Structure 1
Amino acid sequence: MATIDARSLQLIVDREFPHDDYTVDLDASFEDSGFDSLSVFELGSALAKEFGVRLSDEDLIDCETFGDLAALVTVAPGQAASA
């Protein structure tokens, strides 16, 4: 199993937030990226559906960066985001 990469996460962000211009940097905080708490929960929900994982509210609250969120989502090697 491997965590999703920045490119896959960017594709999902672009799909879920088509009217915003977010750039995924795994090390950047959500706050620095312009994400608010609602956006984090919306992205978490999209990732849960995309990859069939369960992300609790507590998990999402603890995430401070895109990298933190990506680390919660593991995918089988070779599986790509179907954005």
Structure 2
Amino acid sequence: MNTTTTTVTLADLTRMLRESAGEEEGIDLDGDVIDTPFMDLGYDSLALLQVIGQIQREYGIAIPDDAVVDAETPGALLALINAGQGTAA
């Protein structure tokens, strides 16, 4: 079991969103987006699944695809990701 944990931050998440799915024109991901719904930010479920795949590769954190559907904001997704720290991919 991996005892080292790395917390995925909002900056990490927004970087991965940009890398995986780009950034909508007129949306400032560097602003206070923690509680903004992903749909308002221009990201759909496919974009989020791409980000989850990247998180699994970079951090070794397994996140069930069905759990991602319930995470409607960056804050909710970060809570889900960081809660899954003990699970190896």
For the criterion TM > 0.5, the same-fold answer is yes
- Find the structure with the greater CA-based Rg: 2
2: CA distance, partners of 1:59 / 1:21: 23
- Relative contact order (C-alpha < 8 Å, sep 6+): which is higher? 1
Deviation, structure 1 residue 29? 0.5
Q: Which residue of 1 aligns with 2:63?
A: 55
Letter matched to residue 34 of structure 2: L
Partner of 1:36: 44
Aligned length: 73
Q: Work out the percentage of aligned pairs sharing the same amino acid.
A: 26
So what's the TM-score if we normalise by structure 1? 0.72
* Offset at residue 10 of structure 1 (A): 1.8
Could you tell me the TM-score, scaled by structure 2's length?
Answer: 0.68
Between Structure 1 and Structure 2, which shows a larger proportion of strand residues? 1
Taking the aligned partners of 1:48 and 1:2, their CA distance within structure 2 comes to 12
Q: Give 1:73 shift.
A: 2.0
Q: 1:62: Cα distance to partner?
A: 1.1
Q: Give the Cα separation in 1 of the matches to 2:75 and 2:51.
A: 13
Gaps of 5+ in 1: 76-83
Q: Of the candidates 28, 53, 56, which is equivalent to residue 45 of structure 1?
A: 53
Q: What CA deviation, in whole Å up to 9, does each residue of 1:14-73 have, x standing for no partner?
A: 2223xx225262111011101111111111111111110111122111111111111122
Unaligned 5+ segments in structure 2 are none
